[in-house]
Structure 1
Amino acid sequence: MKCVDDFRLRLGSTELVPIVIGGMGVDISTPQLALTAVRMGGIGHLSDAMMMATADHYFRKHFSRDKMRANMATMGKMDKSSVHFDLGALAEATRLHVSSAMEAKRGHGLLFINLMEKLTMNAPRETMQTRMTAALDAGIDGITLAAGLNQSSFHLIQDHPRFRDAKMGIIVSSARALQIFIRRNAKLNRLPDYVIVEGPLAGGHLGFGMDWAKFDLKTIVAEVQAYLKKENLDIPLIAAGGVFTGSDAVGFLENGAAAVQVATRFTVSRECGLPEAAKQAYLNAAEDDIEVNMQSPTGYPMRMLKNTPAVGQGIRPNCEIYGYILENGKCEYIDAYEREIKLHPEKDKLSVKEKVCLCTHMRNYDVWTCGHNTYRLKDTTRRLEDGSYLLPSAEHIFRDYQFSKGHEILLPE
């Protein structure tokens, strides 16, 4: 019987333990969490979601405050088309976060950053180019493109001196999405170094419709493998979404996947950036406490705990401070908030049930996104005398994935 450690992921000349920790934002995948994977010989991801707010926290900067002051004129208005990010500040925040993590890097693994195309920031091309360029400037080992088809993302950095040096990959949920990406970038003569195939049991935003339950990761992986073989493309495939045990991982590795990406089990690690209350909520969750809904203003379905604190709140759109999902001055939460104002003009406090203000609530850790298998987390640790659960270390979880067999899960001491 094999374990994950019997396999290796090869990216160019680099040989790695085939375990990738996903880039969970906002700073849920902290540098401490990501660097644990690096130290253990795998791949860890930072997330660039709300990078300026993250830099404020780590480096005592005032990027968010300065953005608010620069956009005060739109406070209370529903048209946010004039709200923009200072691209110099955005680049500085990214460089600070990435360079700090790279300086702390130890071990033979790689540190990547997850960049979401859906963070349009009222200037999708300009901000995406700034974020990618700054991460490369700061020395990041690789960039994973997420939350979108990313058809033009490679083009934005084709002139960067590290364009062919750094590892570049993309997350897809179908062979069709990968085909579109490769066809769009054919003239660059630059294939992705890896492709992460994410299935419908993943946490957070899904690359499916509300019919997600009709799909399964094994089938999608096989379809992507068939496409790569047909096109004679030698691109490592990384399976993601619902890989809960080392034996789950081995099943994909034995069937041709080069590695697995995992995240759910690391949400309750000590190194994870979630507050203690959220971690305990995950550990206490039952299967029917988890739902896929359309609360996200991105337009994508999102998996979360039903009792996530953000649902039903009606805070005023906070775009002057954040505004990461703004597109042409609008987002679906603003539209929902405006409808509530018109329906209940006499109310001092609104309740917006259709959407959540993802920027503000993610920043405050009030959106409890999660993977389908979150209800199984209680089986990965021990319950303490006070009724709470022991939080394992990221190293313990990583080693359990790496060495466990027979779907066994080693409980922390």
Structure 2
Amino acid sequence: MRLPPLIIGDLKADVPIIQGGMGVGISGYRLAQAVANEGGIGVISGVQIGYREPDFETNTKDANVRAIRKELRKAREMSPKGILGVNIMVAVSDYDEMVKACIEEKADIIISGAGLPLTLPKLVEGSSIKIAPIVSSGKAASLMIRHWFKKYSRLPDLVVVEGPKAGGHLGFHLEQLTSGKETLENIIPDVIKVVKSFEEKYNKKIPVAAAGGIFTGTDIAHFLKMGASAVQMGTRFAATEECDADIAYKNAYVNAQEKDIKIIKSPVGLPGRAIKNKFIKKAEDHRIAPVKCYKCLKKCNPKDTPYCISRALINAVKGNLDEALIFVGSNAYRVDRIMKVKELMEELISEAEKAYIN
């Protein structure tokens, strides 16, 4: 039995898999187009995407906006009919400009988290781009949707629910993550219930995607059976040939053991999940004062930040791992090889279809 497609308004993804946005530069145009060409939704991360631009150090904001345009154009050239999205963190200081560039370059969807994207409907007004908030509870979903409708008469086109097993920045307090009481299985029904009430009230279908710790096709089927319309996956796609990061970064996933994956406190102020490497140990021992501030985050003060998160993430994508912050999902230690996106998608779909009928 084939998996049901993901329908987002007038968009139809034949495969209900959204590739998670991974910054800095981990998910760029190569990864996004490969996923889109296999029938899923390919997502470029907008966070400091201009790191390769020649003027990035001196003109960061313009470099990022220019780079997201380039990435979207390259992805579209390689996947003319695929669905391409951009993940933009609410916490970044060039948020408005990045959204505008995505609209102008005709991205299909903007997925936005690391804070509540309260102003996103206003920024996309008049365009056909789809918008999707990332939430981590039914309460956050309700707040978000009510605010959007009251202020802008706009409903989300998709809601992504990110559980506590995700990689990178997490929308949970440290106590919630360490207690183990919060699970994606518990959160998903709450969010679906909230979304359903708005669907019925306003007669609009709003699909819900489950994210965080989803690793196998069996996991995908599990959440589809729970009522999710899709899943979002990051970790599996980081260890693909098409992932835009250096081979050393990908091998860090392959070589990681379960004991290496830790919850850390990010300079953003949110807890995050990463590989505990030399850099993390050094940052825990003493402050690594930033040499330069990129003014990338709205709430980051270079005078007291424990380290420069931009520099640490740029080091990761470039393969300079001893000076890098390597964000991973909780199941990264299960990655045992680097594979092509096509092979990964086929494996996931085959497993999911078998589990979906049982």
- Residue 163 of structure 2 corresponds to which residue in structure 1? 199
TM-score (norm. length: structure 2)? 0.87
Query: How many residues are paired up?
Result: 336
- Residue 319 of structure 2 corresponds to which residue in structure 1? none
Against the structure 1 CA distance between its residues 265 and 94, is the aligned structure 2 distance closer, same or farther, given a 3 Å change threshold?
closer
Q: CA deviation at 1:300?
A: 0.5
Q: Aligned to 1:259, which of 213, 230, 233?
A: 230
Q: CA deviation at 1:50?
A: 0.3
Kindly report which structure 2 residues correspond to 1:381-392, keeping only aligned pairs within 5 A, or say none: 381=337, 391-392=338-339
Q: What are the superposed Cα offsets for residues 122-153 of structure 1, whole Å, 9 maximum, x if unpaired?
A: xxxxx322110111101111111111111122
Against the structure 1 CA distance between its residues 92 and 278, is the aligned structure 2 distance closer, same or farther, given a 3 Å change threshold?
closer
Q: CA deviation at 1:268?
A: 1.2
CA contact (8 A) 2:141 2:195 kept: no
Q: Find the residue that maps to 1:184 and give its secondary structure.
A: helix
Q: CA deviation at 1:104?
A: 2.5
1:377 matches 2:347 = no
CA contact (8 A) 2:220 2:352 kept: no
1:103 matches 2:77 = yes
Which stretches of structure 1, 4 residues or more, deviate above 6 A after TM superposition?
none
CA contact (8 A) 1:312 1:356 kept: no
Distance of 2:271 and 2:164 partners within structure 1 = 10
Q: CA deviation at 1:375?
A: 1.2
Q: Single out whichever of 299-308 and 226-235 deviates more from structure 2.
A: 226-235
Q: What are the superposed Cα offsets for residues 163-216 of structure 1, whole Å, 9 maximum, x if unpaired?
A: xx1111111101111111112211322211101101000001111011222200
Kindly report which structure 2 residues correspond to 1:48-63, keeping only aligned pairs within 5 A, or say none: 48-54=46-52, 56=53, 62-63=54-55
1:7 matches 2:17 = no
- Residue 139 of structure 2 corresponds to which residue in structure 1? 176
Whichever residue aligns with residue 119 of structure 1, its letter is V
Q: CA deviation at 1:52?
A: 2.3
CA contact (8 A) 1:151 1:180 kept: no
1:116 matches 2:89 = yes
- Residue 44 of structure 1 corresponds to which residue in structure 2? 42
- Residue 358 of structure 1 corresponds to which residue in structure 2? 309
Kindly report which structure 2 residues correspond to 1:115-194, keeping only aligned pairs within 5 A, or say none: 115-120=88-93, 127-158=94-125, 161-162=126-127, 165-186=128-149, 187-194=151-158
Q: CA deviation at 1:89?
A: 5.2
Q: Find the residue that maps to 2:210 and give its secondary structure.
A: strand
Kindly report which structure 2 residues correspond to 1:59-98, keeping only aligned pairs within 5 A, or say none: 62-67=54-59, 90-98=64-72
Q: Find the residue that maps to 2:88 and give its secondary structure.
A: strand
Q: Find the residue that maps to 1:155 and give its secondary structure.
A: helix
Distance of 1:38 and 1:218 partners within structure 2 = 27
Distance of 2:312 and 2:63 partners within structure 1 = 22
TM-score (norm. length: structure 1)? 0.76
Higher-Rg structure is 1
- Residue 224 of structure 1 corresponds to which residue in structure 2? 191
Against the structure 1 CA distance between its residues 407 and 298, is the aligned structure 2 distance closer, same or farther, given a 3 Å change threshold?
farther
CA contact (8 A) 1:99 1:140 kept: no
CA contact (8 A) 1:21 1:34 kept: yes
Whichever residue aligns with residue 35 of structure 1, its letter is Q
CA contact (8 A) 1:26 1:363 kept: yes
Q: What are the superposed Cα offsets for residues 217-236 of structure 1, whole Å, 9 maximum, x if unpaired?
A: 01100000111223326310
Whichever residue aligns with residue 332 of structure 2, its letter is T
Distance of 1:217 and 1:287 partners within structure 2 = 20
- Residue 297 of structure 1 corresponds to which residue in structure 2? 267
Whichever residue aligns with residue 272 of structure 2, its letter is M
Q: What are the superposed Cα offsets for residues 85-132 of structure 1, whole Å, 9 maximum, x if unpaired?
A: 65x5553333233223223224x4300000001113xxxxxx322110
> Where does structure 2 lack aligned partners over 5 or more consecutive residues?
317-323
Q: Find the residue that maps to 2:209 and give its secondary structure.
A: strand
Distance of 1:46 and 1:283 partners within structure 2 = 22
Q: CA deviation at 1:325?
A: 1.8
Whichever residue aligns with residue 367 of structure 1, its letter is L
Distance of 1:105 and 1:308 partners within structure 2 = 39
Q: Find the residue that maps to 1:185 and give its secondary structure.
A: helix
Whichever residue aligns with residue 194 of structure 2, its letter is Y
- The percent of aligned pairs where both chains have the same amino acid is 34
Distance of 1:406 and 1:139 partners within structure 2 = 32
Q: Find the residue that maps to 2:56 and give its secondary structure.
A: helix
1:323 matches 2:295 = yes
Q: CA deviation at 1:405?
A: 5.2
- Residue 304 of structure 2 corresponds to which residue in structure 1? 335
Alignment RMSD, CA only?
2.1
Q: CA deviation at 1:315?
A: 4.6
Distance of 2:314 and 2:124 partners within structure 1 = 28
